[in-house]
Amino acid sequence: MLSGHTNLSDGTEKPRRILAVASGGGHWVQLLRMTSAFEGQTVVFASTMPSLRAEVSNHTFYNVPDANRRRPIALVRLILKTAWIVLKERPDFVISTGAAPGYMGVFFGKLFGAKTIWVDSIANVDRLSMSGKWAGRFTDLWLTQWPQLAQQNGPLYAGAVI
Q: What is the CATH number of the domain that holds 145?
A: 3.40.50.2000
Residue 10 lies in a domain: no
Residues linked to residue 118 through DSSP beta bridges, in sequence order: 96, 142
Residue 7 lies in a domain: no
Residues linked to residue 22 through DSSP beta bridges, in sequence order: 98
Residue 42 lies in a domain: yes
Tens-digit pLDDT profile for residues 57-94: 999 999 999 998 899 999 999 999 999 999 999 999 99
**Which residue type occupies 61?**
F
Phi, psi of 116 (to 5 degrees): -125, 145
Q: How many domains does the chain have?
A: 1
Name the percent of the chain lying above pLDDT 70.
91
Q: Is the pTM of this model over 0.85?
A: yes
Phi, psi of 94 (to 5 degrees): -125, 130
Residue 9 lies in a domain: no
Residue closest to 28 by CA, chosen among 94, 83, 85, 101 = 101
Residue 41 lies in a domain: yes
Residue 107 lies in a domain: yes
Residues linked to residue 143 through DSSP beta bridges, in sequence order: 119, 156
Most confident of 2-6, 112-116, 125-129: 112-116
Domain span at residue 37 reads: 17-157
Cβ atoms of 100 and 68 within 8 Å: the answer is yes
For 95, the enclosing helix (H) or strand (E) is: strand 93-98
